[in-house]
Amino acid sequence: MSQNTGVKICGLKQAAHVHAAAEAGARYVGFMFFPKSPRHLEVEEARALAAEVPAGVAKVAVTVRATNEELDLITGSVPLDMLQLHGGESVERVAEIKARYGLPVMKVIPVADESDLAAIDIFADVADQFLIESKPPKDAVLPGGNGLSFDWRLMAGRKFWRKPWMLAGGLTPENVQEAIRMTGAAQVDVSSGVETAPGVKDAGLIRQFVAAATA
Protein backbone atom coordinates (compact mmCIF):
# COMPACT_ATOMS: atom_id res chain seq x y z
CA MET A 1 0.00 0.00 0.00
CA SER A 2 1.04 3.56 -0.47
CA GLN A 3 -0.21 6.95 0.47
CA ASN A 4 0.20 7.71 -3.23
CA THR A 5 -2.33 5.14 -4.38
CA GLY A 6 -4.78 6.86 -6.72
CA VAL A 7 -8.40 6.12 -5.90
CA LYS A 8 -11.44 6.49 -8.14
CA ILE A 9 -14.90 6.35 -6.62
CA CYS A 10 -17.31 5.52 -9.43
CA GLY A 11 -21.04 5.95 -9.87
CA LEU A 12 -21.57 8.93 -7.59
CA LYS A 13 -25.01 10.52 -7.58
CA GLN A 14 -25.08 12.81 -4.56
CA ALA A 15 -23.09 15.89 -3.58
CA ALA A 16 -22.51 14.52 -0.07
CA HIS A 17 -20.77 11.49 -1.54
CA VAL A 18 -18.67 13.61 -3.89
CA HIS A 19 -17.57 15.61 -0.84
CA ALA A 20 -16.86 12.45 1.18
CA ALA A 21 -14.73 11.05 -1.65
CA ALA A 22 -12.78 14.27 -2.19
CA GLU A 23 -12.21 14.91 1.51
CA ALA A 24 -11.02 11.33 2.01
CA GLY A 25 -8.43 11.85 -0.74
CA ALA A 26 -9.93 10.25 -3.85
CA ARG A 27 -8.25 11.50 -7.03
CA TYR A 28 -11.07 10.66 -9.43
CA VAL A 29 -14.85 10.61 -9.27
CA GLY A 30 -16.86 8.73 -11.89
CA PHE A 31 -20.22 9.79 -13.31
CA MET A 32 -22.21 7.07 -15.07
CA PHE A 33 -23.98 7.72 -18.35
CA PHE A 34 -25.70 4.41 -19.04
CA PRO A 35 -29.48 4.36 -18.57
CA LYS A 36 -29.60 0.69 -17.53
CA SER A 37 -27.30 1.42 -14.58
CA PRO A 38 -28.68 2.20 -11.12
CA ARG A 39 -25.91 4.86 -11.05
CA HIS A 40 -27.01 6.60 -14.26
CA LEU A 41 -27.11 10.39 -14.30
CA GLU A 42 -28.92 12.70 -16.68
CA VAL A 43 -26.58 15.38 -18.02
CA GLU A 44 -28.19 18.11 -15.92
CA GLU A 45 -27.67 16.04 -12.77
CA ALA A 46 -24.07 15.41 -13.74
CA ARG A 47 -23.45 19.08 -14.44
CA ALA A 48 -24.75 20.00 -10.96
CA LEU A 49 -22.65 17.26 -9.34
CA ALA A 50 -19.54 18.31 -11.27
CA ALA A 51 -19.83 21.75 -9.70
CA GLU A 52 -19.33 20.09 -6.30
CA VAL A 53 -16.02 18.49 -7.24
CA PRO A 54 -13.02 20.41 -5.91
CA ALA A 55 -10.02 21.27 -8.07
CA GLY A 56 -7.50 18.46 -8.14
CA VAL A 57 -10.11 15.70 -8.30
CA ALA A 58 -10.66 14.44 -11.85
CA LYS A 59 -14.21 14.13 -13.14
CA VAL A 60 -14.56 11.01 -15.27
CA ALA A 61 -17.55 10.31 -17.52
CA VAL A 62 -18.20 6.58 -17.84
CA THR A 63 -19.86 5.63 -21.12
CA VAL A 64 -20.68 2.38 -22.91
CA ARG A 65 -20.41 2.33 -26.71
CA ALA A 66 -21.75 5.90 -26.74
CA THR A 67 -22.52 7.56 -30.07
CA ASN A 68 -21.02 10.90 -31.08
CA GLU A 69 -24.43 12.45 -30.49
CA GLU A 70 -24.48 11.16 -26.91
CA LEU A 71 -20.87 12.16 -26.28
CA ASP A 72 -21.48 15.62 -27.79
CA LEU A 73 -24.29 16.13 -25.27
CA ILE A 74 -22.28 14.82 -22.31
CA THR A 75 -19.06 16.70 -23.06
CA GLY A 76 -20.96 19.85 -24.04
CA SER A 77 -22.95 19.89 -20.78
CA VAL A 78 -20.57 18.62 -18.11
CA PRO A 79 -17.05 19.90 -17.41
CA LEU A 80 -14.96 16.74 -17.57
CA ASP A 81 -11.35 15.68 -17.18
CA MET A 82 -11.51 12.19 -18.68
CA LEU A 83 -13.71 9.80 -20.66
CA GLN A 84 -13.90 6.17 -19.54
CA LEU A 85 -14.89 3.87 -22.40
CA HIS A 86 -16.55 0.84 -20.87
CA GLY A 87 -17.92 -0.91 -23.96
CA GLY A 88 -16.39 -2.90 -26.79
CA GLU A 89 -14.96 0.17 -28.51
CA SER A 90 -12.39 -0.58 -31.21
CA VAL A 91 -8.92 0.96 -31.41
CA GLU A 92 -10.19 3.20 -34.22
CA ARG A 93 -13.19 4.33 -32.19
CA VAL A 94 -11.02 5.13 -29.16
CA ALA A 95 -8.72 7.21 -31.40
CA GLU A 96 -11.70 8.98 -32.94
CA ILE A 97 -13.17 9.85 -29.52
CA LYS A 98 -9.84 11.08 -28.24
CA ALA A 99 -9.35 13.35 -31.26
CA ARG A 100 -12.93 14.61 -31.35
CA TYR A 101 -13.22 15.59 -27.67
CA GLY A 102 -9.61 16.37 -26.76
CA LEU A 103 -9.97 14.60 -23.42
CA PRO A 104 -7.78 11.84 -21.99
CA VAL A 105 -9.36 8.45 -22.51
CA MET A 106 -9.39 5.52 -20.09
CA LYS A 107 -10.10 2.24 -21.92
CA VAL A 108 -11.59 -0.60 -19.94
CA ILE A 109 -9.99 -4.02 -20.35
CA PRO A 110 -12.32 -6.80 -19.15
CA VAL A 111 -10.35 -9.75 -17.82
CA ALA A 112 -11.34 -13.36 -17.22
CA ASP A 113 -8.08 -15.08 -18.11
CA GLU A 114 -4.52 -14.25 -19.08
CA SER A 115 -5.25 -13.93 -22.80
CA ASP A 116 -7.49 -10.93 -22.11
CA LEU A 117 -4.47 -8.89 -21.00
CA ALA A 118 -3.19 -8.81 -24.60
CA ALA A 119 -5.72 -6.05 -25.31
CA ILE A 120 -3.60 -3.68 -23.23
CA ASP A 121 -0.83 -3.68 -25.85
CA ILE A 122 -3.37 -3.36 -28.64
CA PHE A 123 -4.83 -0.14 -27.18
CA ALA A 124 -1.58 1.28 -25.76
CA ASP A 125 -1.05 3.79 -28.58
CA VAL A 126 -4.50 5.36 -28.30
CA ALA A 127 -5.54 5.09 -24.64
CA ASP A 128 -4.15 7.37 -21.94
CA GLN A 129 -4.98 4.95 -19.12
CA PHE A 130 -6.49 1.53 -18.64
CA LEU A 131 -9.06 0.27 -16.19
CA ILE A 132 -8.47 -3.44 -15.77
CA GLU A 133 -11.48 -5.20 -14.39
CA SER A 134 -13.40 -8.43 -14.28
CA LYS A 135 -15.18 -9.52 -17.43
CA PRO A 136 -18.95 -9.41 -16.75
CA PRO A 137 -20.94 -12.65 -16.75
CA LYS A 138 -22.53 -13.42 -20.15
CA ASP A 139 -26.04 -12.64 -18.93
CA ALA A 140 -25.07 -9.45 -17.06
CA VAL A 141 -27.14 -6.33 -17.75
CA LEU A 142 -24.19 -4.09 -16.90
CA PRO A 143 -20.70 -4.32 -18.41
CA GLY A 144 -19.28 -2.91 -15.17
CA GLY A 145 -20.27 -2.15 -11.63
CA ASN A 146 -21.13 -5.77 -10.89
CA GLY A 147 -19.06 -6.13 -7.74
CA LEU A 148 -17.14 -9.09 -9.17
CA SER A 149 -13.39 -9.51 -8.93
CA PHE A 150 -11.11 -11.53 -11.22
CA ASP A 151 -8.13 -13.66 -10.32
CA TRP A 152 -5.59 -11.06 -9.18
CA ARG A 153 -2.78 -13.59 -9.60
CA LEU A 154 -3.04 -12.89 -13.36
CA MET A 155 -1.58 -9.44 -12.67
CA ALA A 156 1.42 -10.51 -10.67
CA GLY A 157 4.60 -9.11 -12.22
CA ARG A 158 2.61 -7.38 -14.97
CA LYS A 159 2.69 -3.83 -13.74
CA PHE A 160 5.08 -2.37 -16.31
CA TRP A 161 2.72 -1.42 -19.09
CA ARG A 162 3.36 1.72 -21.13
CA LYS A 163 0.32 3.54 -19.76
CA PRO A 164 -1.01 4.02 -16.23
CA TRP A 165 -3.67 1.55 -15.16
CA MET A 166 -6.29 1.11 -12.48
CA LEU A 167 -7.48 -2.10 -10.88
CA ALA A 168 -11.26 -2.52 -10.58
CA GLY A 169 -13.94 -5.11 -10.00
CA GLY A 170 -15.27 -6.30 -6.67
CA LEU A 171 -12.95 -4.17 -4.57
CA THR A 172 -14.08 -3.35 -1.02
CA PRO A 173 -12.62 -1.66 2.06
CA GLU A 174 -11.80 -5.16 3.30
CA ASN A 175 -10.00 -6.56 0.25
CA VAL A 176 -8.39 -3.54 -1.40
CA GLN A 177 -5.10 -3.81 0.50
CA GLU A 178 -4.69 -7.46 -0.51
CA ALA A 179 -5.63 -6.60 -4.11
CA ILE A 180 -2.94 -3.90 -4.23
CA ARG A 181 -0.39 -6.22 -2.66
CA MET A 182 -1.07 -8.99 -5.17
CA THR A 183 -1.30 -6.85 -8.31
CA GLY A 184 1.04 -3.93 -7.62
CA ALA A 185 -1.75 -1.55 -8.63
CA ALA A 186 -0.89 2.13 -8.19
CA GLN A 187 -4.52 3.06 -8.75
CA VAL A 188 -7.81 1.43 -7.75
CA ASP A 189 -11.47 1.94 -8.63
CA VAL A 190 -14.63 1.01 -6.73
CA SER A 191 -18.37 1.27 -7.08
CA SER A 192 -20.42 -1.55 -5.49
CA GLY A 193 -17.96 -1.98 -2.62
CA VAL A 194 -18.87 1.42 -1.20
CA GLU A 195 -22.64 0.93 -1.53
CA THR A 196 -25.35 -0.41 0.76
CA ALA A 197 -27.55 -1.33 -2.24
CA PRO A 198 -27.05 -1.00 -6.03
CA GLY A 199 -26.59 2.70 -6.73
CA VAL A 200 -26.76 3.74 -3.05
CA LYS A 201 -23.35 5.01 -1.95
CA ASP A 202 -22.35 5.23 1.72
CA ALA A 203 -20.05 8.03 2.92
CA GLY A 204 -18.58 5.86 5.68
CA LEU A 205 -17.69 3.08 3.25
CA ILE A 206 -16.15 5.62 0.86
CA ARG A 207 -13.94 6.92 3.67
CA GLN A 208 -13.02 3.37 4.74
CA PHE A 209 -12.12 2.40 1.18
CA VAL A 210 -9.89 5.42 0.53
CA ALA A 211 -8.22 4.99 3.93
CA ALA A 212 -7.51 1.31 3.30
CA ALA A 213 -6.21 1.92 -0.25
CA THR A 214 -3.88 4.71 0.85
CA ALA A 215 -2.78 3.38 4.24
Ligand X SMILES: O=C(O)c1ccccc1NCC(=O)[C@H](O)[C@H](O)COP(=O)(O)O
Nearest residue (CB) to ligand X, 126 versus 167:
167
Nearest-approach distance from CB 4 to ligand X, in angstroms:
20
> Is-contact 19 207, C-beta < 8 A?
no
Nearest-approach distance from CB 195 to ligand X, in angstroms:
8
Name the residues that contact ligand X, by CB under 6 A.
10-11, 30, 32, 34, 37, 39, 62, 64, 86, 133, 142-147, 168-171, 189-193
d(CA 143, CA 170): 13
Nearest residue (CB) to ligand X, 64 versus 78:
64
DSSP string, 151-187: -GGGGTT----SS-EEE-SS--TTTHHHHHHHH--SE
Burial class for 97, CB neighbours closer than 10 Å (0-12, 13-18, 19+)? buried
Q: How far is CA 145 from CA 36, 39, 48, 97, in A?
A: 11, 9, 23, 23
d(CA 53, CA 118): 35
- N residues, the chain: 215
Nearest-approach distance from CB 174 to ligand X, in angstroms:
13
Nearest residue (CB) to ligand X, 35 versus 157:
35
CB-nearest residue to ligand X = 145
The one-letter amino acid at 81: D
Nearest-approach distance from CB 156 to ligand X, in angstroms:
20
Nearest residue (CB) to ligand X, 22 versus 99:
22
Nearest-approach distance from CB 11 to ligand X, in angstroms:
4
Nearest residue (CB) to ligand X, 7 versus 126:
7
Dihedral (CA of 69, 75, 78, 81) sign: positive
d(CA 141, CA 143): 7
Nearest-approach distance from CB 134 to ligand X, in angstroms:
7
